[in-house]
A = this chain, B = another copy of it.
Amino acid sequence: MGRLRIESFSLSLDGYGAGPNQDLENPLGHNGMTIHEWVFPTLTFNKMIGRPGGTTGIDNKFASQGFEGIGANIMGRNMFGPIRGSWKDEEWKGWWGPNPPYHTPVFVLSHHERRPIEMEGGTIFYFVTDGIESALKKAQEAAAGKDIRLNGGVSVIRQYLSKGLVDYMHLAVSPKLLGAGENLFAGLDLVKLGYSVKENASGEKANHVIFEKS
Tell whether, in the assembled complex, residue A175 and residue B189 are in contact, meaning their CB atoms are under 8 Å apart.
no
Tell whether, in the assembled complex, residue B202 and residue A177 are in contact, meaning their CB atoms are under 8 Å apart.
no
Of A13, A31, A171, A186, the most chain B CB neighbours within 10 A belong to A13
Tell whether, in the assembled complex, residue B197 and residue A178 are in contact, meaning their CB atoms are under 8 Å apart.
no
Tell whether, in the assembled complex, residue B180 and residue A189 are in contact, meaning their CB atoms are under 8 Å apart.
yes
Instruction: Collect the chain B residues with CB atoms within 8 Å of residue A192's CB.
Output: 179-180
A15-B14, A209-B13 are contacts. A31–B191 as well, Cβ < 8 Å?
yes
> Is chain A's interface secondary structure helix, strand, loop, or mixed overall?
loop
Tell whether, in the assembled complex, residue B175 and residue A200 are in contact, meaning their CB atoms are under 8 Å apart.
yes
A158 CB–B CB distance under 8 Å: no
Residues of A in contact with B, size category: 20 to 34
Tell whether, in the assembled complex, residue A197 and residue B177 are in contact, meaning their CB atoms are under 8 Å apart.
yes
A202: nearest chain-B partner, CB-CB: B202
In the complex, A13 Cα to B173 Cα: how many Å?
9
Interface string of A192-208 (1 = CB under 8 A from B): 11011100101000010
Sample (24) of A-B pairs whose CB atoms are under 8 Å apart: A13-B173, A13-B209, A14-B15, A14-B185, A14-B190, A15-B15, A15-B185, A31-B191, A173-B207, A175-B200, A175-B209, A176-B197, A177-B190, A177-B191, A177-B195, A177-B211, A178-B191, A179-B190, A179-B192, A179-B193, A180-B191, A183-B185, A186-B186, A207-B207
